[in-house]
């Protein structure tokens, strides 16, 4: 095994020991879910960077030299190809995404392992050196490496990033975790993370819902009106309304006109309410059915409502022919009821509700007093307008900088930390 820090700037010589130049970088090729394979070296020769195929390398550790099979080298300047990563330029000292812990870490070194006739990028050391060791008359750092597959690199090279997109691991993170990464990222890192997220439009919309207001406004503002409308068209209507309100006045109308008609109508309705009122807090995703609907049919409707906010589906509402709220049934009551029972039979009549002008504190008090997960909002005629979920109330009442607070780890976090971190690649 070899560490990149021990290779960089090492003299490169032919078999006779004649020094030709110095090793400037190591090139690996990305291979989807497999370990990247070393394909060559970048040699610094006379102020120029040249490509040396890995097949031409006789030994990496021949008396402190990188020994080549011959002195013949391609004198054309090195040009990076699609899918290639330069370990010194792109990884060493740069940040990566620790996928398991959903955080950005910095690579202090990388380890190469020789397996089945080829050198592989095997693991990454993200720790500061703890102490120095004396090895063969030289100082060397003690390394604590983790499997390369535990990370998602942010390499900055657009053509190589495009190659990674089909297997990129960041899209397996929760939207809130990706939002946290974006809030910590540099401008270049933001661009690469968003480039991966953009491949999944639904995930992209979920991530923008979780972003801090200022960051979401900046990132959206850098896009065209059409691109903004595409993202907001997939977001929850209440979050989309907030985002529209943060755009410059001159862009709001243009973006609204480009949004799908149904979403535009919801957003316009929500924009008419004060942000700290029940109308400003509510979402317009809810399930309302006639009281004669069988419980089995209600549950089927819940299963089919994949585009509705899940938090709002913890209750089903009964409305009359004019859309006035008459009753509500919690999901647990529906699950415990007989499939052939009617919705009206398992519902609570005259449910707690508020008007759209009710202020935030009164909303919070009502939800606390009645142990509510959701709270319906009705107009002066009792027509159901929307539903407030408890997470919306919590977000509105927490301090503005709550997202920056360091969350305490779960009590079992030590188990993951103590798990084996270094595993040999399979043959």
Task: Burial-class residue 317 by CB neighbours within 10 Å (0-12, 13-18, 19+).
Answer: buried
Q: How far apart are CA 283 and CA 411, in angstroms?
A: 34
Residues 15 and 130 in one domain: yes
How many residues are listed for the chain in this entry? 427
Q: What is the mean pLDDT of residues 20-36?
A: 89
Which pLDDT tens digit goes with each residue over 227-241?
Answer: 999 999 999 998 999
Asked if the structure places residue 203 within a domain, the reply is: yes
Structure tokens at 272: 């008419």
Identify whether residues 141 and 6 lie together within a single domain. Answer: yes
The reported pTM is 0.77
CA distances from residue 408 to 47, 75, 177, 179, 411 in whole angstroms, order as listed? 51, 55, 15, 18, 9
Q: What percent of the chain has pLDDT over 70?
A: 86
Same domain, 290 and 268: no
Query: Pick from 357, 376, 356: which is nearest to 367 by CA?
Result: 376
- The H or E element that residue 131 is part of is none
CATH label of the domain that carries residue 195:
1.25.60.10
Is the predicted pLDDT of residue 163 greater than 90, yes or no? Answer: no
Distance CA 333, CA 328 (A): 10
- Dist CA 155 CA 89 (whole Å): 8
The answer on pLDDT for 16 being more than 90 is no
Burial label for 75, CB within 10 Å (0-12, 13-18, 19+), is exposed
79 and 35 assigned to the same domain:
yes
Q: How far apart are CA 344 and CA 70, in angstroms?
A: 86
pLDDT band for position 27 (cuts 50, 70, 90): very high
- For residues 179 and 194, give the distance between their C-alpha atoms in angstroms, rounded to a whole number: 10
User: Across the chain, what does the average pLDDT equal?
Assistant: 86
Q: What is the pLDDT of residue 410?
A: 58
Domain hosting 180: range is 169-272
- Tell me which DSSP letter residue 294 carries: B
Domain boundary among 214, 247, 272: 272
Statement: residue 164 has pLDDT above 80 = no
| Residue 130 and residue 18 in one domain | yes
Highest mean pLDDT among 53-67, 151-165, 176-190, 402-416: 176-190
pLDDT band at 408 (very low <50, low <70, confident <90, very high): low
Lookup: tokens for 194: 């968003």
C-alpha closest to that of 14 among 55, 54, 73: 73
- Indicate whether 65 and 137 sit together in one domain: yes
Q: Could you tell me what percent of the chain has a pLDDT over 90?
A: 59
DSSP 8-state assignment for residue 140: E
Q: What is the CATH number of the domain that holds 145?
A: 2.30.30.240
Q: Do residues 15 and 139 both lie within one domain?
A: yes
Specify whether 235 is located in the same domain as 293.
no
- The string of DSSP codes covering 198-248 is TTSHHHHHHHHHHS-HHHHHHHHHTS-HHHHHHHHTTS-HHHHHHHHHHS-
Burial of 363 from C-beta contacts in 10 A (0-12 / 13-18 / 19+): buried
The answer as to whether 427 is a domain residue is no
Query: Distance between alpha carbon 76 and the CA centroid of its chain, in Å?
Result: 40
Each residue's pLDDT tens digit, 291-335: 999 999 999 999 999 888 888 899 999 999 999 999 999 999 999
Whole-angstrom Cα distance, residue 14 to residue 1?
A: 22
Q: How much is the pLDDT for 30? A: 83
Q: Does 95 map to a domain?
A: yes
Mean pLDDT of the region 163-167:
52
Which residue is associated with the tokens 């639904």? Answer: 202
Nearest of 314, 283, 277, 292 to residue 396 by alpha carbon: 277
Domain count, the chain: 3
**Alpha-helix residue ranges (DSSP H) falling in 48-132:** none
Q: Could you tell me if 90 and 216 lie in one domain?
A: no
- Are 262 and 291 found together in one domain? no
pLDDT of residue 217: 94
Q: In terms of pLDDT, which residue wins out, 217 or 404?
A: 217
Please, are residues 68 and 57 in contact by the beta-carbon 8 Å criterion?
yes
Could you give the angle at the alpha carbon of 121 between the alpha carbons of 126 and 13, nearest 5°? Answer: 110
Least confident segment among 1-10, 333-342, 357-366, 413-422 = 413-422
pLDDT of residue 275: 85
Boundary-marking domain end, from 153, 188, 215: 153
pLDDT score of 418:
41
Q: What is the pLDDT of residues 79-104, one digit of tens each?
A: 888 878 899 998 988 899 999 889 99
Q: Give the residue with greater pLDDT, 343 vs 415.
A: 343
Inside any domain, residue 412:
no
Residue 400 pLDDT: 66
CA–CA gap between residue 138 and residue 385 (Å, rounded): 73
Least confident of 134-148, 210-224, 324-338: 134-148
Last residue of a domain, one of 122, 153, 184: 153
* Alpha helices per DSSP H over 247-324: 249-258, 261-271, 278-281, 295-304
Q: Is residue 253 part of a domain?
A: yes
Q: Count Cβ atoms below 10 Å from residue 126 Cβ, excluding itself.
A: 18
Mean pLDDT confidence for 246-273: 94
Q: What is the pLDDT of residue 39?
A: 94
Regarding whether 290 and 266 lie in a shared domain, the answer is: no
User: Would residue 122 count as lying in a domain?
Assistant: yes
Please state at what angle helix 175-184 crosses helix 213-221, rounded to 10 degrees: 80
Residues 227 and 311 occupy one common structural domain: no
In a domain, 47, yes or no: yes
């Amino acid at each position: 095994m070899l560490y990149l820090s021990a290779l960089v700037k090492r003299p490169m010589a032919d078999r006779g020991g004649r020094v030709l130049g110095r090793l400037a970088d190591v090139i690996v090729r990305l291979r989807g879910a497999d370990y990247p394979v070393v394909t060559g070296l970048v040699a610094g020769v006379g102020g120029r960077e040249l490509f040396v195929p890995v097949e031409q390398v006789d030994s990496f550790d021949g008396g402190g030299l990188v020994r080549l099979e011959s002195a013949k080298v391609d004198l054309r300047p090195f040009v990076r190809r699609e899918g290639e990563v330069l370990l010194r330029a792109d990884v060493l000292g740069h940040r990566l995404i620790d996928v398991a812990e959903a955080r950005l870490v910095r690579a202090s070194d990388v380890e190469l392992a020789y397996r089945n006739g080829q050198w592989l990028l095997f693991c990454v050391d993200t720790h500061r050196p703890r102490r120095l060791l004396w090895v063969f008359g030289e100082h060397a750092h003690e390394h604590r490496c983790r499997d390369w597959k535990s990370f998602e690199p942010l390499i900055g090279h657009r053509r190589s990033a495009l190659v990674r997109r089909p297997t990129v691991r960041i899209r397996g993170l929760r939207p809130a975790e990706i939002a946290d990464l974006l809030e910590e990222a540099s401008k270049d890192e933001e661009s690469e993370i968003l480039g991966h997220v953009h491949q999944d439009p639904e995930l992209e919309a979920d991530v923008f819902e979780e972003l801090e207001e200022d960051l979401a406004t900046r990132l959206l503002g850098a896009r065209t009106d059409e691109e903004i409308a595409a993202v907001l068209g997939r977001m929850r209507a209440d979050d989309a309304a907030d985002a529209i309100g943060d755009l410059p006045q001159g862009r709001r109308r243009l973006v609204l006109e480009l949004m799908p008609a149904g979403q535009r109508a919801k957003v316009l309705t929500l924009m008419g309410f004060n942000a700290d009122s029940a109308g400003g807090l509510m979402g317009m995703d809810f399930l309302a059915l006639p009281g004669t609907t069988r419980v089995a049919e209600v549950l089927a409707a819940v299963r089919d409502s994949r585009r509705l906010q899940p938090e709002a589906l913890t209750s089903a509402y009964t409305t009359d022919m004019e859309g006035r709220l008459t009753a509500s049934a919690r999901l647990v009551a529906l699950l415990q009821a007989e499939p052939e029972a009617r919705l009206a039979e398992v519902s609570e009549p005259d449910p707690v509700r508020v008007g759209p002008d009710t202020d935030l504190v009164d909303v919070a008090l009502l939800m606390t007093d009645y142990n509510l997960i959701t709270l319906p909002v009705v107009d002066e005629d009792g027509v159901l307008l929307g539903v407030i979920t408890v997470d919306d109330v919590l977000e509105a009442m927490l301090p503005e900088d709550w997202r920056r607070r360091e969350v305490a780890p779960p009590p079992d976090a030590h188990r993951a930390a103590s798990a084996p971190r270094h595993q040999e690649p399979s043959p």
